[in-house]
Amino acid sequence: MKIIVFGLGNFGMSLALSLTETGNEVIGVDKQMDKVNLVKDKISHAICMDSTNELAYTALPLKDADKVVVAIGENEGAAIITTAIIKKLSDVKIISRALSPIHDTVLEAMGIYSIVHPEQESADRLTKQINFKTTLENYQLDNNYTISEVKSKPEFHGKTLSELNTIDKYHLNLITIIRKREKTNLMGKKSIVKETIGLPKPDTVLLEDDILVVYGENKNISFYCDCIK
């Protein structure tokens, strides 16, 4: 996809680099030249411009973009004006960062419903990792249900899923399994990567370093984690 990221602070820059690494064409925009210089050789294009100046948008391929991310984090007014200009000039899908509850309200009034709160979401994710002592990553669906990455229990190792009737007592649904694999790049350098095995089958054997991706109630995930020694 072609994605334009406005605001190359910590969040915007990390997002632009991550989107580039996953195969997207990314155009980064910031009014500070030093931030543009930091990423100009790492993403498709980096442009220094004031996104609150509507006339400056002639330099951007807004109509060709698949998505636009307004990641401006240091100036709420600039973020709102930027979003308004993009909304006026194009029908592109906008994902906007909100800096306050009022910012949320303004964005919703503008018809922007893809709203992100990086700091809050990061804090919530870390809180859940701390509370669920042995979970690795979590995706909270609502206040009661979560998708979590958990370590496979020692008594599971070497057994097939059909043999593991004990997993039923935790009332969790197994979505997939993440496994480590050694990978060699074109230069011959070896590294360890994580890959999912797809949908687990009854004859799938659980290994020692397996990470289970499970779905269930928070209380059941906590119970499972408390049982891991």
Residue 161 CB contacts under 8 Å (≥ 6 apart), including other chains: 167, 174, 200, 201, 202, 203, 204, 206
Evaluate whether 133 touches 151 at the Cβ level (below 8 Å). Answer: no
The answer to whether residue 167 scores a pLDDT higher than 60 is no
Confidence of residue 27 (pLDDT cuts 50, 70, 90): very high
pLDDT, tens only, 103-115: 888 988 888 888 8
CA separation for the pair 172, 175 (Å, rounded): 9
| pLDDT tens digits for range 175-226 | 888 888 777 765 677 777 778 888 888 888 888 888 888 888 888 888 877 7
Are 159 and 176 spatial neighbours (Cβ–Cβ below 8 Å)? no
Is residue 110 packed enough to be buried (19+ CB in 10 Å), middle (13-18) or exposed (0-12)? middle
Which of 27-31, 36-40, 194-198 shows the lowest mean pLDDT across its residues? 194-198
pLDDT at 57 over 80: yes
